[in-house]
Structure 1
Amino acid sequence: MWRSLASNAMTILIVLGLAGAFAVHWGKSQFLAQGPLQEAICFQVPQGANIRGVADQLEERGAISSARIFRLGAEYNDRSHLLKAGSFLIPEGTPMVGVVAIVTEAGRSTCGTEINYRIGITIAEAIVRELDPTTNRYEEIVKFEAGAEEIPQEYLDARDEADVRFRVTLAEGVTSWHVVDGLRKADFLSGEIAEVPPEGTLAPDSYEVTRDSKRSELLAEMTRRQGVILSDLWAERAADLPIDTPEEALILASIVEKETGIAAERPEVASVFINRLNQGMRLQTDPTVIYGITNGEGTLGRGLRRSELDRPTEFNTYQIDGLPPTPIANPGRDAIAAALNPAEGDYLYFVADGTGGHAFSRTLDEHNANVAKWRQIEAERANQ
C-alpha cells in the first residue's frame, strides 16, 4: 500500500514538474514572441508608477498579451524596479521583452509633446509639436515668436506637462548676441548669462535640454561642441591655405556662412575668398560691413548705403586687407569644412543669380555681366 502511495506521489510530482516546465517554457515563448499591437502607440509611464500598474495598462491598451507574464518577465530580468517616467513610442508588434526595454532603458521620452525652441538669424520662436505614433512624424500644434506679449495657451499647457521634452535649436549663421537674447527669452530655462560668448564659438545644432536647465551650462555645451568641430576639421585642412590659425578659419567660415544658404555652394564661395586672399585682393563682402554696423545685434533691415561701403572700419572688407578681426556669426560644420577644404578653381567673383544661388566668374568683365543680369532680375521683380 505504501509502495503504491509513494508511486502515485512520484507520478504526481513528475506531472507537476512537467507542467511547471511547460508553463515556464510557454511563458518564455510568449515573452519573446511578436506582440499584439497592430499599430504603434504612445504610452505614458506616470511618475512613481509600479510594474504591476504599468503591466495592466499595457494589457488594456493591447500592447501586450498578458500583464502577468510581462510582470514576471520584467522581474526575472531584474528590470521591474527600473521604470522610467515619460511617454514612449511602442512600435507595432513589439514583443514583451522589447516593451520592457522601452519603458526601463530609454531614460527620456521618445514620443508625446515636444517644445522646439529655435533661435534663428532674425527671431527666436517656440514650436509645440506632438509625435503621431502611427506615422512617426511630428504634427505642429502652435508656433509663436519668443517674447510675444500674448503666449498661446497651447504652449503654456505643453510647457507644464510632466513628460514634455524641450529642445533648443540654433540656426547656422546666427550671431552670439541673438543666441543669448533668445536663451534669455526661453522661460523653461533658468539662470543668468554673464556675458555674450565670443562670436563664432557656438555650434549651430539641436540641443536636448530639460526643464530648468541652466542657460550658462547650455552655452558651455555649445562652446564645447564648436571647439571639437573646429579641432577635428583643422586637423584635416587642405595644404597651403592662406589661413594660419583655427581662429582665422572660423572667421572665414562665418563669412562663407553668411554669403550663401545653399550647402552645395559653400566650397565654391570659400574658394573665391581663398583665391582673393592668395592674390592679395580685398574680400569685398557685404555681410562683414553689415556686422560692423550692427555688431551682430539685431538686423540692419535695409540695404547698405554707399557711404557705409566707403567708411573705413575694421569689418569693412571693401576698405581693409585680409580678414576682419573676428567672426561675424556662428558658422556650422559644413561652412567650416568648406573654409578649410575649398573647391578647386580660379573664381574671383560671385553675385546672386536670381534662383537663390550665385553666378561665379573669373574676370571682372564676366562679373560685371552677371551683375547686370542680376540688376535686371531685381528691376523686373520690382515691377511685378
Structure 2
Amino acid sequence: MSVVASFRAAVRSRLIARAGVIDLSKLDRVPDRLAWPLLRDGVDPPARLARDRAVDPVQRLTSFMGLDIWLITGYDEAREVLGNVHHSTDIRHLMGASGDVQSGDIGGLGFTDPPEHTRQRKLLTPEFTRRRLQRLEPRINTIITRQMDETAAAAAVDGVVDLVQTFAFPVPFGVICDLLGLPEDRRDTFRQLGTARFDVSQGGVGAVGAISGSREFLLAETTRQRLDPGPGLIGQIIREHGDEINDFDLGGLADGAFNGGMETSASMLALGTLVLLQDRELWRRIAEEPEAVDPIVEELLRHLAVVQVAFPRFAKEDVMVGGHLIRKGSVMLAHLPAASRDPRSTPGEQFCPSAASSNHVAFGHGLHRCVGAELARMELRAAYPALARRFPDMRLAVNPSELEFHAKSIVYGVESLPVTLG
C-alpha cells in the first residue's frame, strides 16, 4: 500500500468510527491545503517549504476531516519523528481488519508496528543483505544492457527517444520482477499496476483501484507459489519459513518490495539522468571515474529525494516535537525532500556532487527505513555510468522547462524524458 493509501485508509476509518457513513476512498480530489507539499518546480520542492522550514521546521499543516496534520520539514526533527518507536504507522486495526485476506487491505512493513513489524522484517531483511543481493548483479547488468540496446534501436528509428519508456521504467521493473520471482508470462499484467497507485491528482478513487489490483495480483501469486515456489523472494521465504508466515503477510511483504523497488527507482533513474545531462563535465566524470560514482549517486538521492513524504506517523500519546505539543491521535508527515535539504544538517538546496551527502533521509529513517535501499543504490550505481559510457553524446531533446512532471504524486517523477543519443 502506498503512503497516501495508508493515510487515506486511516482517515476513512476514523470518520467511519465517528459517523458511520463517510468513505474517503470516494473523495475525487485531495484539497490543496493538504496536497501542496507534493508539488514541485522542476526537480525542486516548493520554495514555500524552505521559507517555512527557516521559520519553524515543525508546523501544523491543516485540520482535515477532524485530524490535526503536522508537516515536518527539518532534518533533525524528521529523524526524531521517524525514529520514535512509540509512534504508530499501523492503520489496519483502525479499519477493523482482523488480518483476514478478504476483509482487510494487504499487509506490509510500512504500516505494521512492533512486535509484528519486527517478526516480518526479520523474514525479509536477509533477502536484502549485500551478500544475497550480489546474486542479482549480473542480472541487473544484463537488464541495463538490454534496455540500452532498445534505447539505441528506438533512437535509430525516430531520432528522439523517451528514456522513461525505454530505460528508466523497464530497468527497475525487470529487477523487481526477478527479485520477487514473477514468471515472464505474468509481468505485463503487473506492469500496468505500477504508477497509478502513487497518483493522488484524482483523490482516492484512482489509487484505490490500482492498489486493489496490485493486492489481488500478489495474493494470487503468493498462493500459486505456495504450491510451486519460484526462484525469487516469495519462493525463498516460503521455502525457508513455510507456515511461519501466511499469504496475507507474505503478499504484503511482496507488495512493499514492489512499492519500494519499482516506481522509486524509475523516478530516480529518470530525474537523476535529467540532472546529469545538464552538466556535461559530470556526465563525463560518471562515465570515466569509477571512484566518483558513489558520491554522485548519494548526492542525487539527497537532492532529488523522490519519495516526498514518509509513511504517516500517528501520535499514540501527547509528544513534543521541535518545541510543539502534538496531541495524541495527530498525524505527522515528514517531508523527505525538505528534510534532506535542510541547510542546518545537509549541503542545502543546491546540488553539490563534490560534497559528502550521507546526511539525507531519502530512504526514510528508523524502523521503517527502506529495506531495499542497498538494491536501489546497486541499480543507480550501475545504470548511470552505463548510460554515460554507451551514450557519451546524449542530450536532452527539449528545454527542461518543457518537461511534464507527476502532479501531486507521493513518488515524484517526470512523465517523459526525450533525448537524442548523438
TM-score range, shorter chain: under 0.3
Larger radius of gyration: 1
Higher RCO (CA < 8 A, seq sep 6+): 2
TM-score scaled by length of structure 1: 0.21
Give the TM-score of the pair, scaled to structure 2.
0.19
More strand by share: 1
